[in-house]
């Protein structure tokens, strides 16, 4: 699940209970966040489900598309 915090995005990783803040802007792609999750936790993007509320975030979109960041 992803929750906006100003210019940072708090990402909770359900699989392992960890979370991290991702510094970003409206031009940041969901794919960039997925790559960071993969690098930090070795979880491939195909296993990701990024949500904002009830909306699933598509890797092709920028955060601004969802009015995040």
What pLDDT, in 10s, does the model give residues 8-53?
888 888 888 888 888 888 889 999 999 999 998 899 999 998 988 8
Q: What is the mean pLDDT of residues 41-68?
A: 91
Q: Which of 49, 41, 61 is nearest to 2 (CA)?
A: 49
Number of neighbours of residue 32 by Cβ within 10 angstroms: 15
Q: Which domains does the chain have, with CATH numbers?
A: 2-66 (3.10.20.90)
Counting Cα atoms < 13 Å in the Cβ hemisphere of 30 gives: 24
- Given a cut of 50, whether residue 55 has pLDDT beyond it is yes
For 36, the token pair is 């960071």
């Amino acid at each position: 699940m992803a929750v906006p915090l100003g210019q940072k995005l708090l990402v909770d990783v359900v699989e392992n209970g960890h979370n991290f803040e991702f510094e970003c802007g409206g031009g940041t792609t969901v794919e960039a966040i997925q790559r960071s999750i993969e690098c930090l936790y070795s979880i491939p993007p195909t296993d990701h489900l990024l949500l904002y509320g009830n909306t699933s975030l598509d890797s092709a979109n920028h955060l601004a598309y969802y009015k995040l960041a």
